[in-house]
């Protein structure tokens, strides 16, 4: 299932990679694209939305509801 998140706090390429890594630790097969310029993270995964948002938030980023 494809899901979109608004994530604030990504300020550099390292931040984007951190978000991607956080999601892939939850689901190794997830397709993830993080774009700091638009504050968007696109995820294709079977994991629940709440679990994906929590994984991102645990890295210090803010995920909009």
Q: Return d(Cα 19, Cα 22) in angstroms, integer.
A: 5
pTM: 0.94
- Domain borders along the chain are 2-63
Question: Which pairing describes strands 62-63 and 2-8: parallel, antiparallel, or unpaired?
Answer: antiparallel
Q: Mapping DSSP to helix (H, G, I), strand (E, B) and coil, where does residue 63 land?
A: strand
Question: Hey, what CATH class is 2-63 in?
Answer: alpha beta
Residue 43 confidence (pLDDT): 98
In this prediction, residue 48 carries a pLDDT of: 98
The predicted-structure confidence for 3-61, as pLDDT tens digits, reads as follows 999 999 999 999 999 999 999 999 999 999 999 999 999 999 999 999 999 999 999 99
**pLDDT score, position 26:** 97
Q: Give pLDDT, residue 60.
A: 97
């Amino acid at each position: 299932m494809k899901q979109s998140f608004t994530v604030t706090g990504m300020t550099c390429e390292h931040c984007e990679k951190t978000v991607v890594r956080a999601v892939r630790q939850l689901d190794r097969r997830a397709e993830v694209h993080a774009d700091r310029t638009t504050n968007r993270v696109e995820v294709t995964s079977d994991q629940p939305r709440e679990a994906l948002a929590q994984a991102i938030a645990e890295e210090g980023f803010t995920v909009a509801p």
